[in-house]
Amino acid sequence: MEFLNLLLILITALLVLRKPERERAAFRVLVVSTVLMIFLFTLATRSGILPGLNY
């Protein structure tokens, strides 16, 4: 899933560099990537054996 986040960020960067008029779509992809990161972090810390951030 982390690879998916990196891929979404790469798509955002390429979209802004190649088609600046599509900035709104690039921002939406970036927001989706951020929400996915937050979801994965929450899932990993809630279901982990160790307490959150105590590795």
Domain residue extents for the chain: 2-46
- How far are the Cα atoms of 32, 41, 53 from residue 25, in angstroms, in the given order? 11, 25, 33
Spatial separation of the C-alpha atoms in residues 44 and 52, rounded to whole Å = 8
**Residue 31 confidence (pLDDT):** 92
pTM beyond 0.85, yes or no: no
Q: What is the pLDDT along the chain (55 residues), one digit of tens a residue?
A: 788 888 989 999 999 999 989 899 899 989 999 998 898 888 877 766 666 565 5
DSSP label at residue 22:
G
**Residue 51 confidence (pLDDT):** 62
**Residue 50 confidence (pLDDT):** 62
